[in-house]
Structure 1
Amino acid sequence: MTDVKIFLETDEQTIAIGQTLAKYIHPPLTLYLTGELGAGKTTLSRGLIQALGHQGAVKSPTYTLVEPYELENVEIYHFDLYRLADPEELEFMGIRDYFSDKSLCIVEWPDRGFGLLPEADLHLHLVYAGTGRELSIQAGSAAGRAVIENLSE
């Protein structure tokens, strides 16, 4: 696995890394976002989703489990599985239908859907580091490695 570490001092930098990722992400792609509550997963998602063309607000889908964003060139599905009681609930919502050749799936708390989610192309992990955050990015596929290589240039 390829691994990149980036220190993010502010929410603005967290949004900016999402905007930068948007330049290199092309469907189909599955992105896992992990880290403690409040670590910046939704903030990073906001930067990414808005940079891909969504004009409105980006809220955490904590209660709805998934928030769809249908844009001109990509279907984005932003999942937050924090409140998922049992991975089997994902079967009832037709989880497999979201992962298509035209979709970018951003999954917060992917461990809650273990066994029912495809492997991540990119795994982004945020941890508290002093007053900021440290972001680790790991590639789990050739598509993920291509994103990281572009980021590193």
Structure 2
Amino acid sequence: MPAEAIPDPESLSLKLADEAATARLAQAIAGALRAGTTIHLSGDLGSGKTAFTRALLRFLGHTGRAKSPTFSLLEPYNLSSFDLYHFDFYRLSSERAWLDAGFDEYLDGRGVVVIEWPEMAGDTLPAPDLLLRIRCDPTAGADARLVEAVGRGPRGRECLNAIRAAGFCGPDSGLAAAPR
């Protein structure tokens, strides 16, 4: 039986003016999520990974406090449509530490998984449906961000389509697509 082909990724480059724009990006993506979706958030300290996840949880209906999993490594959330598992791998002691902790059981397709600092797991993580590389853009203001959104497979494409549909790539969006 031939191995399943890995679909070519598709990407968008975005400029976000401030934290409110980051929240609007989370809102757009929230509408496209379904159980089994995996999102990786990569970027420097302070680039907005946790802020994005907090906004995502809010738009998915979570009304309580959304804690950063920096020290606990995992914060689970039981939402009405699915469970969301928010990981932060920044403090992993080795690339395999997440596997040794049994966290691979959360990648079973029954919930949505958001992983900050996926690069700390090396090549031990499966490819995400959506990768958001977030970095600060000091040339555009203290709160401005540049985001590369890379989607893979049907779930990743749904997220990218939701970003487009929310007006992030249009000429009048105020959040223009970054030059490639």
TM tier, smaller: over 0.9
Q: Name the amino acid aligned to 2:91.
A: R
Determine if the alignment matches structure 1 residue 110 to structure 2 residue 113. Answer: no
Contact persistence 2:36–2:111 (CA under 8 A): yes
Q: CA deviation at 1:88?
A: 2.4
Determine if the alignment matches structure 1 residue 140 to structure 2 residue 148. Answer: no
Bigger Rg over Cα: 2
Q: Name the amino acid aligned to 2:132.
A: L
- For residues 121 and 86 of structure 2, the distance between their equivalents in structure 1, rounded to whole angstroms, comes to 14
SS at match of 1:111: helix
SS at match of 1:21: helix
Mind listing any 5+ residue stretches in structure 1 that lack a counterpart?
A: none
Q: CA deviation at 1:101?
A: 2.4
RMSD: 1.3
Q: What is the match of residue 41 of structure 1?
A: 49
Q: What is the match of residue 58 of structure 1?
A: 66
Please list the CA deviations of residues 84-126 of structure 1 after superposition, one character each: whole Å capped at 9, or x if unmatched: 1112221232112111222110000001112332211000011
Q: How high is the sequence identity, in percent, across the aligned residues? A: 31
**Residue 135 of structure 2 is aligned with which of 124, 127, 138?**
127
The runs of 4+ residues in structure 1 deviating greater than 2 Å are none
SS at match of 2:54: helix
Aligned pairs, number: 153
SS at match of 2:134: strand
SS at match of 1:13: helix
Q: CA deviation at 1:33?
A: 0.3
- For residues 14 and 149 of structure 1, the distance between their equivalents in structure 2, rounded to whole angstroms, comes to 17
Q: What is the match of residue 4 of structure 2?
A: none
- Bigger share in strand: 1
Name the TM-score, length of structure 1 as normaliser: 0.94
Mind listing any 5+ residue stretches in structure 2 that lack a counterpart?
A: 1-8, 166-180
Q: CA deviation at 1:142?
A: 2.1
SS at match of 2:91: coil
- For residues 149 and 13 of structure 1, the distance between their equivalents in structure 2, rounded to whole angstroms, comes to 17
Contact persistence 2:74–2:88 (CA under 8 A): yes
Q: Name the amino acid aligned to 1:148.
A: L
